[in-house]
Chain A
Amino acid sequence: MTVPEQLRYTAEHEWVAIDGRTASVGITEHAADALGDVVYVSPPTPGTKVTAGEPCGEIESTKSVSDLYSPVDGEVTDVNADIEDDPGQVNSDPYGAGWLFKVRLDDEPPSDLLTAEQYAELISAEG
């Protein structure tokens, strides 16, 4: 199971890449594997204010639907339009082509985001 070192994570299985004031968000490989084939993602629309830890969209697989949580506070600036046509990229490349949305941060990112090491521990504890 891949958990890239340079990313930050949430207990809800999102990853965050922070670049200056911009955070890119997706779901982890662990989450994508648990969901099975992702068939539809309903991300927050650009302009939406999102709050860390609050649901901001949905992700549907063959078997289930889950809430998407924002890992950060800010305003959505961009969504990955390719996911609309090919949601399978969330499974095939969760940390790359399968990114979901970008947020312009209001402030510093939350201090309670998990490091790769902490997230790896979390998922191994979940089995």
Chain B
Amino acid sequence: MTQSEPAGQPRRSPLLPVHERLGATLTEFAGWQMPLRYDSEIAEHRAVRTAAGMFDLSHMGEIAVTGADAGAALDYALVGQPSALVPGRARYTMICAADGGVLDDLIVYRLSDAEFLVVANAANTAVVSRELSGRAGGFDAGVTDRTADYALIAVQGPNAAAILAPVTDIDLAGVKYYASHDAVVCGRPVLLARTGYTGEDGFEMFCRPEDAEPLWDGLTAAGAEQGLVPAGLAARDTLRLEAGMPLYGNELGPDVTPFDAGLGRVVKLDKPGDFVGRAALAQRAGQPPRRVLAGLTVRGRRIPRHGYPVLWDGQARGAVTSGAPSPTLGLPIAMAYLDSDVGELAEAQAGADAGDTRLSIDIRGRGEPADLVTLPFYSRRR
């Protein structure tokens, strides 16, 4: 249906007037005009860690896969096994090319026996929709890009459940992590899911575009006493990085397999039937990894950024995929791909006493000493 690539004018979230009213700094992201920050992205990040933040994620792609064979079609199209999901449950998964390279990472929600919702990254929605359509060709299943039919609002943080409970008709205790439920929130019908990309408890609400603004305003009022603040894409990026979650285009891409990213567990090689990428991924699963995705902290204060070389004894043996100042840790952090032998050496070093380090990051011509740490950088207390 929506086969066109974004071009010309950026697409507008139905919440754009809200962001303008709030004085957000806007940015063009994957062809969408979206809020980067409302005021201080560090304050927004901290609010999500300690209270709650609300995000407009309407740029995310929603692709409906429906029909008697929808589950079987997705089992063939993706590396996971969505047919094994019970209605009301969701799973993190990936769509790969025949060579095993990642085309996108996805969340697949099973809404009913014959109805799935595939949520894709904004930049990849057109590709995912096209691939799913092609791969579903031999099945009794229809694929429809329904991105324009949904707005998506996330409320994330330790206070998220307390904020939503008084304004929804369902018992949130019955909505487990990676589960979804039809619900009414602030008088508007939504698909309510306990999913997120921040490392905190939280909810994502898929709603009709015309309901987005009243829902946002209702949630703002409901969260006023609970420290809820609007949060932009800048905070979302530092939150997901602290939580060790990969971002497509940084940690994931067509030249990366799920195994490279340390996410081989999403590849269900034991599921019945063929799937796109099976042969390449089965071969890859049996080999020692060429590179490993590692977490690094920097001892100085300069910030490692995407693409900067990672050095072992002064020799480039890896590259930063994502880097940022961590508001929670108070120091610069990065994820990076390292040659696997360097990964092992660095792990041995990290296990020894913390003195000199042979690991550094080339930050614009100067090697800044760094340490290997276990991912994630941050995990919430449960």
Which residues of A pack against B, CB within 8 Å?
A: 33, 36-37, 39-40, 42, 58, 60, 62-63, 65, 88, 91
Q: Which residue of B lies closest to A92 (CB)?
A: B40
Chain A residues positioned under 8 Å from B325 (CB to CB): 39-40, 60, 62
Which of the residues A40, A42, A60, A62 comes within 8 Å of B41, measured between beta carbons? A62
CB neighbours (8 Å) of A63 from chain B are 36, 41, 234
Q: Assess the A37–B40 pair: CB atoms within 8 A.
A: yes
* In the assembled complex, B59 has its CB within 8 A of some CB on chain A: no
Which residue of B is nearest A63, CB measured?
A: B234
Closest chain B residue, CB of each to CB of A40 = B301
- Binary interface profile of B, 330-373, with partner A (CB < 8 Å = 1, else 0)? 00000000000000000000000000000000001000000000
> Is the interface on chain B under 10, 10 to 19, 20 to 34, or 35 or more residues?
10 to 19
Using A37-B41, A37-B42 as known contacts, say yes or no to A62 and B234 having CB atoms under 8 A apart. yes
- Which positions 29-77 of chain B face chain A at CB distance < 8 Å? 36-37, 40-42
Contacts A62-B41, A88-B42 aside, 9 further interface pairs with beta carbons under 8 A come to A36-B37, A36-B40, A36-B234, A37-B40, A39-B301, A39-B325, A58-B302, A60-B303, A63-B41
B-side interface mostly: mixed
Give the complex CA separation of A124 and B56 in angstroms. Answer: 28
The reply to whether the CB of B15 lies closer than 8 angstroms to some CB of chain A is: no
A47 to B38, CA, bound (A): 39
In the complex, whether B305 has a CB less than 8 A from a CB of chain A is: yes
Residues on A with C-beta less than 8 A from B238 are 62
| A65 touching B305, Cβ below 8 Å | yes
Q: Roughly how many angstroms separate A65 CA and B40 CA in the complex, as a whole number?
A: 17
The yes or no answer to B231 lying at the interface (CB within 8 A) is: no
Q: How far is the CA of A110 from the CA of B301 in the complex (A)?
A: 33
Distance, CA A63 to CA B37, complexed state (A): 11
CA distance in complex: A88, B40 (Å): 10
Whole-angstrom distance between the alpha carbons of A65 and B303 in the complex?
A: 8
Report the minimum CB–CB distance from B231 to chain A (whole Å).
13
A62–B25 touching, CB < 8 Å: no
CB-defined contacts of A88 to chain B, threshold 8 Å: 40, 42
Ordered by A's residue number, 25 sampled pairs between the chains whose C-beta atoms are within 8 Å are A33-B25, A36-B25, A36-B36, A36-B37, A36-B40, A36-B41, A37-B40, A37-B41, A37-B42, A39-B42, A39-B301, A39-B303, A39-B325, A40-B303, A40-B325, A58-B364, A60-B325, A62-B41, A62-B42, A62-B324, A63-B234, A65-B305, A65-B364, A88-B40, A91-B40
The closest CB in chain B to the CB of A91 belongs to B40
Counting from the closest, the 7 A-B pairs by CB-CB distance are A39-B325, A40-B301, A37-B42, A60-B303, A37-B40, A62-B41, A36-B41
Residues on B with beta carbons closer than 8 Å to the beta carbon of A65: 303, 305, 364
Q: Which residues in B have their C-beta under 8 angstroms from that of A42?
A: 302
Residues of chain B with a CB closer than 8 A to A58's CB: 302, 364
A58-B41 Cα distance, complex, nearest whole Å: 20
Q: Which residues of A contact B303 (CB under 8 A)?
A: 39-40, 60, 65
In whole Å, how far is B63's beta carbon from the nearest beta carbon of chain A? 30
Q: How far is the CA of A42 from the CA of B363 in the complex (A)?
A: 13
Of all chain B residues, the one with the shortest Cβ separation from A39 is B325
Most buried by A among B234, B302, B303: B303
**A42 to nearest B CB, angstroms?**
7
